[in-house]
């Protein structure tokens, strides 16, 4: 469909919200260069995600600003995962209150002459993008998260690089686990979805993979570790999602950040499991938390390509007059999907997923007693 020249925005703004991940700069580059070179748009960068929208911090981007950033991790615009314009924490007469400041944000958007907003981020960012769309702001989202838990797209950019990073860590931990005959537990990010742990665990040859979608039985895991040791395999590698939980139990919470839209911070399950496994088996167990290592570094080739395709598509949608949509990967194609569909629910790992079935066939333990 050829764009209607009357519908093409003259000025657009970009923000990167939520946790950082590899590929954000590749998207910024693709959006800005497509907008500038193909459509002659002015492009503005909003600093630190929705915080910049709330506090009115933005600057115009030039082609020089977005040159040479394809391979850089992080985001040249900065990000924040604590600022929600629809539920913003602020001091009023010495009292901390939570207020809806979205109207002020819309006023700022209009005062800057921005015809459209491109919001790059995960589930939380796209929820807020959809709300601004409902307020009449012309919005296109771009899906980003290392958790790969955003509905309506097969993959999000940043995920594959995180899988590569976690897989490399498992590879390195194999040697020390073998040398000391230990149970080596690798705790990974992912929040409530186990995609990152599943894919990197299988790729790294982990013996045990524990994900939120399959509650684990501690006795089953301990027995598996002891059986390996008894049969001459004197080490065990466990890939564990931060959201993994025991049968009938709860996820391990590291802390609660009260001023965040998503206040619960998971973490610590690796250390808990290390103590429990050591006590039940008599084997030495150690835990390694990969943490923010999974968010850092240069994006892999796959994520650079996907980010570029997403950024280009987002500008094309705006030029076609679309709003309230985001580009999604469906098979080999990039297609527009409604933001409301993308954030309807988290995309979790089905317990009968083909990767899980393949891993079980190779002898991987998921902490449960699989049905015959």
Task: Using only the alpha carbons of the chain, give its radius of gyration.
Answer: 22
List of residues 6+ apart from 271 with CB closer than 8 A: 187, 287, 289
346 token code pair: 């988290």
- Taking the C-alpha atoms of residue 291 and residue 265, their distance in angstroms, rounded to an integer, is 12
Contact 53, 46 (CB under 8 A): yes
Residue for token digits 């629910």?
A: 345
Q: Strand pairing partners for 168?
A: none
In 85-99, which positions are buried (b, 16+ CB within 10 angstroms) versus exposed (e)? bbebeeeeeeeeeee
Specify the DSSP element, H or E, that contains 142: strand 139-143
- Taking the C-alpha atoms of residue 304 and residue 311, their distance in angstroms, rounded to an integer, is 11
Residue for token digits 């657009």?
A: 12
The terminus-to-terminus CA distance of the chain in angstroms comes to: 52
Pairing, β 208-210 against β 183-188: unpaired
Angle separating helix axes 301-319 and 159-180, nearest 10 degrees: 160
Neighbour order of strands in the sheet with 11-16: 58-60, 42-46, 11-16, 116-121, 139-143, 325-330, 333-338
Q: Which residues are catalytic?
A: 147
Contact 70, 33 (CB under 8 A): no
- Taking the C-alpha atoms of residue 32 and residue 25, their distance in angstroms, rounded to an integer, is 10
Specify the DSSP element, H or E, that contains 327: strand 325-330
């Amino acid at each position: 469909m050829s764009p209607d020249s009357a519908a093409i925005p003259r000025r657009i703004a970009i923000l990167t919200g939520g946790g950082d991940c590899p590929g954000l700069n590749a998207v910024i580059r693709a959006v800005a260069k497509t907008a500038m070179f193909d459509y002659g748009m002015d492009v503005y960068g909003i600093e630190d995600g929705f915080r910049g929208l709330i506090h009115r911090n933005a600057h115009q981007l030039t082609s020089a600003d977005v040159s040479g950033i394809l391979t850089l991790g992080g985001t040249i615009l900065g990000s924040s995962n604590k600022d929600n314009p629809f539920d913003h924490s602020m001091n009023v007469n010495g009292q901390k209150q939570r207020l809806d400041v979205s109207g002020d944000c819309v006023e700022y958007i209009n005062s800057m002459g921005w015809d459209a907003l491109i919001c790059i981020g995960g589930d939380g960012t796209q929820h807020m993008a959809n709300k601004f769309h409902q307020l009449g702001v012309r919005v296109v989202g771009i899906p980003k998260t290392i958790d790969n838990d955003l509905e309506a797209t097969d993959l999000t950019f940043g995920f594959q690089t995180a899988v590569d990073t976690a897989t490399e860590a498992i590879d390195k931990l194999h040697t020390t686990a073998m040398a000391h005959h230990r149970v080596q537990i690798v705790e990974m990010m992912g929040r409530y979805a186990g995609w990152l742990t599943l894919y990197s665990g299988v790729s790294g040859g982990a013996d045990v993979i524990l994900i939120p979608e399959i509650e684990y039985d501690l006795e089953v895991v301990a027995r598996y570790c002891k059986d390996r040791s008894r049969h001459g395999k004197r080490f065990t590698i466990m890939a564990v999602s931060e959201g993994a939980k025991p049968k009938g139990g709860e996820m391990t919470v590291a802390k609660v950040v009260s001023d965040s839209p998503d206040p619960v911070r998971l973490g610590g399950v690796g250390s808990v499991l290390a103590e429990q496994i050591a006590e039940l088996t008599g084997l030495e167990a150690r835990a390694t938390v990969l943490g923010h290592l999974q968010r850092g570094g240069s994006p892999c080739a796959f994520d650079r390509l996907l980010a570029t395709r997403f950024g280009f598509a987002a500008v094309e949608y705006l030029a076609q007059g679309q709003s309230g949509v985001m580009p999604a990967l469906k098979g080999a194609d990039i297609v527009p999907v409604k933001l409301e569909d993308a954030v309807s629910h988290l995309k979790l790992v089905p317990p009968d997923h083909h990767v899980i079935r393949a891993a079980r066939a190779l002898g991987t333990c998921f902490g449960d007693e699989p049905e015959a």
